Each structure stands twice: as structure tokens, then as C-alpha cells.
Amino acid sequence: MNYSGDRVARDRFKTAEGRFHLHTERVTAPEPFSNQRSTRLTLASLQGGAEEGSWILFNVRDCVHISRYNMTHKEPYKSLVFNNSPVRTGYPTCHAFLSARDGVDLLVGLGDGTVYLMSLRAQLQNSGFQTKPVVLGTLQPEGVSESTRCTAVAWVPRSESGLFVASYNTGNIYMYKKAQVTGEGSGKFSLSLGSSSKSQSPSIIPLGGGGVNDVAPSPDGRHLAAACRDGSLRVVELGSGAVVAGFCSYYGALLCCCFSPDGKYVAAGGEDDLVAVYGLQERYPVVHGQGHRSWVSRVAWDPWAGSEPGDRSRTALSEQLAPSLHIYRLGSAGQDCQLCLWDVQAPGEGDINSGAALLAQMTGMMGSGAKRNGSIGGRAPGAAGGGSEGGPGLPPAASLHDRKASLGKSTNICPSLPRMDMYIVQPVMEHKLHLEPMCDLLFASDSIFTVDHTGNIRRWLRPSADGVGE
């Protein structure tokens, strides 16, 4: 849905810590919106050599562009062309960077299911402005078709063997070891799902769920969150591939997810226009953010904002709250062209949404009979809220409907919460910052980067930033 005619996009906005100003903007021409070809942002950093410094990578149509951190408003330093085929399915859909000693640090996923393993430094050293990518490894599952799309790629933190994952719209997640790819003499690595060679076959996590739209590894590298087309967030234990936690959206697919910097929470957003924060320890969504007027395209945590207990340097965010609380800053970008910022309070002892906790507990008791959107039936004494027909402590019977069948045999997925059992918060900032549907946002120490589907990148300086780029 296009909201370009609503009103003029802002060039500044204010939060509790001060005023953010639009510093630079990459101006682009309008083009038809496609949710499958969204522009993504990746922050990368290189040490040593002429390429030393911070870089921003972003995909637009058939190219991945590479710009200096403080030069996103100018012509890219390098443009990598991925698709010269008339079929035009090999366009880049996602990318990820993780600094590595061997220099193999860049992943790019394509719309035809291919994943490229690359070196960012090699791309920058390649002659010419617009070039073909220098590829070190090519991964493509056997039997893929033009409709098989790589939806997300990610490096797994703290993995000595260089693990990385790729998710697909078919519902499969593949986990690789970097050495198995780069070690092939031909530079090409073809998946063999029926192969008996364990040294060359990747680990396959078949989640189903109507397809996986996004994945996010935990900071400790032990878990992987997956936002699925069926509306579920599944948290997978990477060591075993088992689904150990998760929840269901209020309505529609989940499109994005990310772990908090401390790994305690997973934020997710999607087609219900809500931003949900799921607690790994609590086992249910502790907060729902309501502020978007269309689908939520991206969520991201801001590690440079928020407050720790006893932190006096950021009292503006928590001056009206108890000093012992931990406040997280969360951002979300939507197809309504809006950026929303949320201050999420970590629940303390006794500060529990009992209705949500009850539904999470009942998931385990009900097993495969758990239904979406609170279809639980029966009486729940002491639960939050009340209903005239559903019994004391339960929402009315009308809200206990079942939109979809059970997610299967998993007993670790919290059912969708009725609205009256949600702990709903409003954003601390919500403004239209683009004229086209937003696709991504990226938090940096001195700036916030936002981008829409046309590749228009806007850089917003933080109140404390001095305006000098890295």
C-alpha cells in the first residue's frame, strides 16, 4: 500500500533525548512497490589497507551498491550487478556481513534461491565502478525453481567454524560451515539433500510454516529466530534444530524479527501492523506496540539508547519510571512510510501480564490442540481481564475464535493473544519519514539510517552527534 500522497515527509523528529535532524538523503525516482524486492541495509567495517573504514551496502533492483558510511547520498563507490538474465529472477534480496580474519565476510542471497559467499574487500579492489561480483562460493539447493527465493541470510555469531544460515520461502533453513564452501576447488558448492557425505551436506531445518520471511541469530549464537508466513515466530536451537520457543501473531504473516542485544527478547512485526516483543524467559509476548497503519517491514534494536538500572546518563528515557528498570529502545519501519521508536520496559518480578502468561502455560498442557488467537476454551481463574461470556478472567467468547488450525505437534509456541490480554504500548515517536513504503532501518552510534523500497536512503544525526562521518 502506497502512502506517498498523505503528507510531506519530515526532515526532523524529536525524542526524549533530543532532536534528530536529516543529515543526508539519496534521492531516487518512484517505482512500483514489490515486497519481494525490498531494499536492505548492511553496515560493514574493514581494517587496514585503502578499504579501511565503515561501509553501507544496499540492494536496489539487480544491484548491490557499496557506499562509504558518510557518503550514502552520493554515487556509490561500487555497484555489483547480479542479474543479466532475461528471466530476471537472480536479483539480490538480502545480504549480511561479519568481519573475518580470512576476509570471507559477505553473504548475498538472490531471488532464484542462490546464495553467494564473497569478500567485501575483493569487491572494493575489483576495477571498474559497475562490475560483476567476485564470488568465492555458490550455494543453491537442488531442484530449486524460479519461485524458490532466498529470503534472508545471516552469519551466526561466536561460531568458530564460521557458521551461516540461509532461509527460503519454501520453509527450509540451511546452515553451512564456511570452510565446506570455500574449500571446494571449483569454488562451487551444490547442495545434495540425499547425499551421504556429512562433511559436504549442510544442516537442514525444515520449519514449513508456509515459508520463512526472515531470520535472526541470537547474540550468543545458540538460537535462531524465524518469522514465518503462517504468522508464527519460531525460535530454533541451532545445535539440535528443535523449535524451543515462539508465539503466534494476532493476524497474518510475520515479516521480520531480531534479537535484543542481550539476547533476552525477540522483536517481530508483520501484517497485523503490530510490533511484538517476545520474552525468551517469560515464554510469551511481553509487549505489543501499536502505532503503524500498515504492515511492519523491519524491526531493529538500538543499542545506543535505552537505560540500565542506575544509569544516570540517560535519565531522560526513564525519569518517570523506577530507577531499577531496564529500558530498551526498539525501532520499526513500516509500509505506511513511518518510523516508530519504542521504549520497551523489561518486566520485573510481579510485573507480568497474567493473561498472556496463562496462555503460554496452557500451550504446554494442550499440546497439539493449541489454537491460534486464543482459542483455548474453559475457565481461567485469576487471568488478566474479564469477559461476560468467556467466564471470569477470560475474554468474551467472540474473541476466542480460531483463524487457523494448530501449528502442529510443537508444544513450545504460545498462541496468539486476544487484544484484551495484550500489554499494548504506544511509540515514543511516530512520524512519516519517507514518501514511499519503508523497508529497513539501521542504528549506528551517531546516526539512524532509513530506506524505502526505491533505495532512497536518509541519514538522521543523533542529538549528540557532531556531524562528522566515520
* Burial class of residue 73 (count of CB atoms within 10 Å of its CB; 0-12, 13-18, 19+): middle
| 67-121 pLDDT, tens digit each | 999 999 999 999 999 976 655 678 999 999 999 999 999 999 999 899 999 999 9
Strands ordered across the beta sheet of 92-97: 92-97, 106-110, 115-118, 135-140, 188-190
Residue 102 lies in a domain: yes
Rounded-to-10 torsion of CA 423, 343, 253, 295? 120
- How many domains, the chain? 2
Residue 119 lies in a domain: yes
- Kindly tell me the sign of the dihedral angle through the C-alpha atoms of 261, 209, 441, 327: negative
Distance CA 229, CA 212 (A): 6
Q: What pLDDT is recorded for position 253?
A: 97
Residue 62 lies in a domain: yes
Given 169, 188, 213, the domain boundary residue is: 213
Residue 66 lies in a domain: yes
| 230-282 pLDDT, tens digit each | 999 999 999 999 999 999 999 999 999 999 999 999 999 999 999 999 999 99
Q: Are 139 and 107 in contact (CB under 8 A)?
A: no
Given 213, 230, 255, the domain boundary residue is: 213
Given 161, 184, 213, the domain boundary residue is: 213
Report whether pLDDT(348) > 70.
Answer: no
Which triple of cell numbers denotes residue 329? 529502545
Q: Model pTM? A: 0.83
Rounded-to-10 torsion of CA 80, 455, 273, 330? 80
Residue 457 lies in a domain: no
| 437-462 pLDDT, tens digit each | 999 999 999 999 999 999 999 999 99
Report whether pLDDT(172) > 90.
Answer: yes
Q: Are 214 and 181 in contact (CB under 8 A)?
A: no
| 11-58 pLDDT, tens digit each | 999 998 899 999 999 999 888 888 788 999 999 999 999 999 999 999
Three-class secondary structure of residue 211 per DSSP: coil
| 385-420 pLDDT, tens digit each | 333 333 323 333 333 333 333 444 446 899 998 999
Residue 53 lies in a domain: yes
CATH code of the domain containing 160: 2.130.10.10
Domain that holds residue 386: 354-421
From residue 18, alpha-carbon distances to 13, 317, 430, 447 in Å are: 9, 11, 15, 13
Residue 140 lies in a domain: yes
Residue 70 lies in a domain: yes
Q: What pLDDT is recorded for position 426?
A: 96
Distance CA 100, CA 103 (A): 5
Q: Are 160 and 169 in contact (CB under 8 A)?
A: no
